[in-house]
Amino acid sequence: MRFLGVLFVLLTALPLAAAERVKTVLLFVPEDVTVPSISDFARSFRRTVLSEWSGPVTVNIEYLDMAWFGSAGYERALRDFYLVKHRTQRPDALVVFADATPFLLKLQRELWPEVPLISILNDEFLAEALPRSPYLRGNWADLDVPGTVKMALRLLPETRHVVLVLGSSQREVEAWSFVEQEVRSAAPDREFIGLTGLTLEELLRRVHELPEDSVVLLIGFMQDAKGQSLISRDVLQLLHANGSPPIFSVHETMLGKGIVGGLLMDYEMLGQQVARRTLRLLKGELASSLPPGPFDTNLIAFDARELKRWRIPESRLPPGSVVHFREPGLWERYHWPVTGVLVAGLVQAVLIVVLLLERRRRMGAQRLNLAVLDSLPGSVAILDGNGVVLRANPASSRLEGLGALRVESLFVSGGPYLEAFSEAARTGLSEVVPVVSLLQDVLAGRAREGVVEFRGLLDTWFELRARRLELPEGGAVVSLVDVSPRRRAEMEARQARDERAHLERVAAVGELGVSIAHELNQPLAAILTNAETAQRLLQRSPTDFPLLREMLQDIIADDKRAGEVIRHMRALLKKGESPLASHDFNELVRQVTRLVGNDAQLRGATLTLQLAESPLPVKGDGVQLQQVALNLIVNALDAVSQCPPGERQVWVRTRRVEGLVELVVEDTGVGLSEEVLERIFEPFFTTRPEGLGMGLAISRSILEVHQGRLQGERLPDRGARFRCTLPLA
Amino acid sequence: MFVVDDDPSVLRSLERMFQVEGYVVESFAHPRHLLARGPGQRPGCVVMDLRMPELNGLELQEALRREGWKQPIVFISGHGDVPVAVQAMKAGAVDFLPKPFSTEDLLAAVERALAQDRAARAVEEEREALRARFSTLSPRERQVCELVTQGLLNKQIAAMLGTAEQTVRLQRSRVMEKLAVDSVAELVRLMERL
């Protein structure tokens, strides 16, 4: 029997081995599958691995269920169980989530010493504590408790009590003191209430009796004091239904079940990111070559119903917030019926017009027909199949920018509408060429409808819409609207932005004036000395020609260097838009640092440049991008000028991250307070007495035009970090 | 001639110019290199940029003095910040030339500095000789010498030291002899210079 079994295994295994071997990924999660965050994570992990791996792959998930059954004996038994279960099958990659890590490290040592393992931990300290090994990479995904508390207080500034709710499972008990500390330090001037070690009934009662000016932070409630296993999300729903002050949390899975919102861990996104790294392991990469550091999977999200219930205006939400569960407005709620009515109305209107035309032809009745057309906004004409006007409302006087186009002929019956445009196109008004082709397409039945925006005389803009009449004899309804005001506003906005950017550049270059003078005086001094020495040398005999040649070469080199400085300065001062072009971002940044290098020295600061090794191609306005870099670096230099000498450090780094180009400017300066950080991108906000306060606002809008982003953050120790990203060209 | 400038092309041009003019030049691209070299012994002059990495000119000036450098300093600078110049001159700099400067001006400043150095060295040498002479006095003779310069009479000195007036007179004439002075007035002037 046994022999037969082995034979069977061999026979079935052979063809598989000849083809591609099925890869196996083993995912260990600490909780039960019914925990929502875990199921989100596991589902998205599995889906991403399966859909993005080119060959055959299996994802096995082991739910360790440690929250509800956490004991040393249970762990031993689990170990024995997996020892037996996976003895014969060697996985290709291991992934472990949070608290299951210590257990899995033991398992890896015993069973699969050379199978790569990714561990997703709760914080940086745990990741740092992992042993170093080529087969292990620890990343972390922070639950941002302090951030959520601070945000809750910002949304509800009247709050006097901050309430922390945590369950009684082994792990929750262990986490308590750390989380308590985090909450207390994020809300130092509010009263702290800790709700832990309670039964579910007690919890419901205590929360119900909380003072009105409280906010509740529900981190988790996996088990109550009686040992009853629970799903935190169900507990949340009970609390909400039973009457509770506003509740915040840090899990995205809670959104929509009664929390107001928070900095929420998106477990689906996390699963996706972890899966992508796992795929790299499957391709044969070492675990240690995977990127270290945190996963950035926290969202700022809110529940619109809760915001409304607690009267929190959306203007208080931080930028980048996402609001879900909006109460549908009239339009959203009756979207389809309203559209239906409108469409029906429109069809009816067209029908009426057509019928009226018919009627006019037969009966000569005109009055109603005219009234309908006249009441339409814009200049509307109904054309027959040849593009001749059947009927039109009187041409509005606002169409005068059409110049050579004889407007009066466009809006009278029998007017040669199509012909007039064709004529204009032929005689040089090239802007109307697309209008002609649209009209021809619609009249010939090649298109049902279309819109063309075109330029008239004297800075005027028009929009022409044509829609085919579904009649046997063809024809079209055409409307012509003057859209110059809108276009002009758009252009003015753009001009204003360029103007402001230019101003800011002038100010920045002005601030750098002293440093630029120094930069120019260096080569000038060398040139003068060399030239005068050469003069003296020429008066002697024998003349030392090799030395003379050397000096002349130096003079030329220094002259070029001075020219270069002036060229850069002029480029920065140049007004107006330079065309979008390809640039090496490294080179742009290097030029800027050359310009400010001296300024840094004057302030006794060390400017450290760490550029990516390969070029970073970007597309955009080089001068404006340099302005962003200049602004960030000058700000950093300003920030460190308060520090004692020797501690004035500024780092400028560029690198390539996942299809993006990143510039990071970091300093050891005074740092940013929470208030400053919030307002830093507002126009005219500045912390410097002589500052314009436009630098960061403009930098951000420049980056927006380039599809980039700019963020500022406080560093844990001191100083600030600004990070800007741009798409790779 | 010691030249310090962090700008390589300025440094090279100065080095060349001084060589052509016949000076012995040592040049340094970083203030730390000059400090590491140790104080120069021969008469000379330091030409340095006011604005350099890590140590600026003023700090270097201070550090050189501490290390025992005696050579005068001529500052050159890429921008004319007057307050720093004033500070440098107060701290003993011979001159301050804004870049770009004419070679003539620099050479003139350097010559002034060298003259100053030479004069200072001459004074120092003379003082050294005096000190040598003074050191040949016995302890008792030094006491007598000091009391004489304070303007006391032999009698008073004898009373203070508890010896005979005769002895004091003898010691006093030995002092005059060893220090090679002829009158009390001369002795007083000499002691002042010490």
The residues, any chain, with a CB within 8 Å of residue B1's CB and separated by 6 or more, are: B18, B23, B24, B25, B26, B44, B45, B47, B110
What class has domain A22-142+264-296? alpha beta
pLDDT of A641-654, one tens digit each?
878 877 888 999 99
Contact A537, A548 (CB under 8 A): yes
Best residue in A512, A514, A522, A561 for a mutation probing chain B (most B CBs within 10 Å): A522
How far does the CA of residue A589 sit from the closest CA of chain B (Å)? 21
A126 in reach of chain B (CB within 8 A): no
**A22-142+264-296 and A145-263+297-324 share one fold:** yes
Residues B103 and B189 in one domain: no
b/e per residue A140-163 (b: at least 16 CB within 10 A): bbbbbbbbbbbbbbebbeebebbb
The residues, any chain, with a CB within 8 Å of residue B188's CB and separated by 6 or more, are: B149
Residue B172 falls within a domain, yes or no?
Answer: yes
The two structure tokens encoding residue A87: 């003895």
Whose CA is closest to B49, among B107, B110, B7, B111? B7
User: Tell me, what's the pLDDT at A371?
Assistant: 62
Length of chain B: 194
Integer Cα distance of A425 and A403 in angstroms: 13
Range of the domain at B63: 2-124
Residues B20 and B113 in one domain: yes
DSSP state of A644: P
Residue B83 falls within a domain, yes or no?
Answer: yes
Contact A94, A137 (CB under 8 A): no
pLDDT of A64-91, one tens digit each?
877 666 677 787 888 888 878 877 778 8
Q: What is the residue-averaged pLDDT of chain A? A: 81
Number of C-alpha atoms within 13 angstroms, CB side, residue A439?
28
B33 in reach of chain A (CB within 8 A): no
Pick the range with the lowest mean pLDDT from A394-403, A572-581, B127-136.
A394-403
Nearest to B10 among A525, A533, A537 (CB): A525
Query: For residue B11, what is the nearest residue in chain A, using CA coordinates?
Result: A526
User: Tell me, what's the pLDDT at B45?
Assistant: 92
Does the beta-carbon distance from B13 to A554 stay under 8 Å?
yes
Number of C-alpha atoms within 13 angstroms, CB side, residue A390?
23
- Is A607's pLDDT higher than 90? no
Taking the alpha carbons of B68, B69, B73, B77 in that order, is the dihedral positive or negative? negative
Chain A hits for B13, Cβ within 8 Å: 525-527, 529-530, 533, 551, 554
Residues B81 and B144 in one domain: no
Residues B9 and B102 in one domain: yes
Residues B95 and B158 in one domain: no
Neighbours of B170 (CB within 10 A): 13
Taking the alpha carbons of A198, A199, A204, A209 in that order, is the dihedral positive or negative? negative
| A376-481: CATH architecture | 2-Layer Sandwich (3.30)
Helix then strand count (H, E) for chain B reads 9, 5
B21 in reach of chain A (CB within 8 A): yes
Contact A216, A260 (CB under 8 A): no
Chain A hits for B17, Cβ within 8 Å: 529-530, 532-533
What residues of chain B, 113 to 172, have a C-beta less than 8 Å from chain A?
A: none
Residues B19 and B70 in one domain: yes
Number of structural domains found in chain B: 2
* Higher per-residue pLDDT: A400 or A634: A634
Integer Cα distance of B84 and B76 in angstroms: 12
pLDDT of A259-279, one tens digit each?
999 999 989 889 999 999 899
Pick the range with the lowest mean pLDDT from A594-608, A675-689, B101-115.
A675-689
Confidence at A576, pLDDT banded by 50, 70, 90: low
Confidence at A11, pLDDT banded by 50, 70, 90: very low
The two structure tokens encoding residue A491: 């252009």
pLDDT, tens digit only, all 194 positions of chain B: 999 988 888 999 999 999 999 999 999 988 888 888 888 888 889 999 887 767 778 888 888 988 888 889 999 887 666 777 788 888 778 888 888 889 999 999 999 999 988 888 888 888 888 888 888 888 888 888 888 888 888 888 888 888 888 888 888 888 888 888 888 888 888 887 77
Residue B68 falls within a domain, yes or no?
Answer: yes
- Is A1's pLDDT higher than 60? no
The CATH homologous superfamily for domain A495-727 is Histidine kinase-like ATPase, C-terminal domain (3.30.565.10)
Does the beta-carbon distance from B101 to A517 stay under 8 Å?
no
Does the beta-carbon distance from B78 to A518 stay under 8 Å?
yes
A484 in reach of chain B (CB within 8 A): no
Does the beta-carbon distance from A557 to B9 stay under 8 Å?
yes
Q: Where are the domains of chain A?
A: 22-142+264-296, 145-263+297-324, 376-481, 495-727
Residues B118 and B141 in one domain: no
Chains A–B, number of C-beta pairs less than 8 Å apart: 79
Residue B82 falls within a domain, yes or no?
Answer: yes
Taking the alpha carbons of A281, A282, A283, A284 in that order, is the dihedral positive or negative? positive
Does the beta-carbon distance from B10 to A526 stay under 8 Å?
yes
Whose CA is closest to A626, among A572, A580, A584, A678? A572
Residues B146 and B187 in one domain: yes
Residue B131 falls within a domain, yes or no?
Answer: no
Q: What value does the mean pLDDT take over residues A530-557?
A: 90
Residue B129 falls within a domain, yes or no?
Answer: no
- Is A305's pLDDT higher than 50? yes
Residues B116 and B22 in one domain: yes
How far does the CA of residue A596 sit from the closest CA of chain B (Å)? 14
Residue B156 falls within a domain, yes or no?
Answer: yes
Best residue in A521, A560, A598, A599 for a mutation probing chain B (most B CBs within 10 Å): A521
Does the beta-carbon distance from A533 to B101 stay under 8 Å?
no
A562 in reach of chain B (CB within 8 A): no
B79 in reach of chain A (CB within 8 A): yes
Residues B65 and B38 in one domain: yes
- Strands A298-303 and A261-265, sheet pairing: antiparallel
Does the beta-carbon distance from B103 to A602 stay under 8 Å?
no
The residues, any chain, with a CB within 8 Å of residue A297's CB and separated by 6 or more, are: A141, A265, A266, A267, A269, A270, A273
A521 in reach of chain B (CB within 8 A): yes
Integer Cα distance of A557 and B9 in angstroms: 9
Fold of A145-263+297-324: Rossmann fold (3.40.50)
* Higher per-residue pLDDT: A341 or A387: A387
pLDDT of A614-628, one tens digit each?
999 998 888 888 888
- Strands A581-584 and A617-620, sheet pairing: antiparallel
Residues B66 and B24 in one domain: yes
Nearest to A526 among B13, B20, B104 (CB): B13
Residues B67 and B119 in one domain: yes
B99 in reach of chain A (CB within 8 A): yes
Q: At what angle do helices A513-538 and A484-511 cross, to 10 degrees?
A: 50
CATH of the domain at B168: 1.10.10.10
- Among B100, B124, B148, give the residue marking a domain's end: B124
H or E element: which one contains A546? Answer: helix A545-573
Residue B95 falls within a domain, yes or no?
Answer: yes
pLDDT of A416-434, one tens digit each?
888 888 888 887 777 788 8
CATH of the domain at B100: 3.40.50.2300
Residue entry with tokens 């299809």: A659
Query: For residue B104, what is the nearest residue in chain A, using CA coordinates?
Result: A532
Does the beta-carbon distance from B79 to A521 stay under 8 Å?
yes
How far does the CA of residue B194 sit from the closest CA of chain A (Å)? 41
The two structure tokens encoding residue A108: 């890896």
Contact A620, A629 (CB under 8 A): no
How far does the CA of residue A125 sit from the closest CA of chain B (Å)? 36
pLDDT of A146-189, one tens digit each?
999 999 998 898 899 999 999 988 878 888 888 899 899 899 88
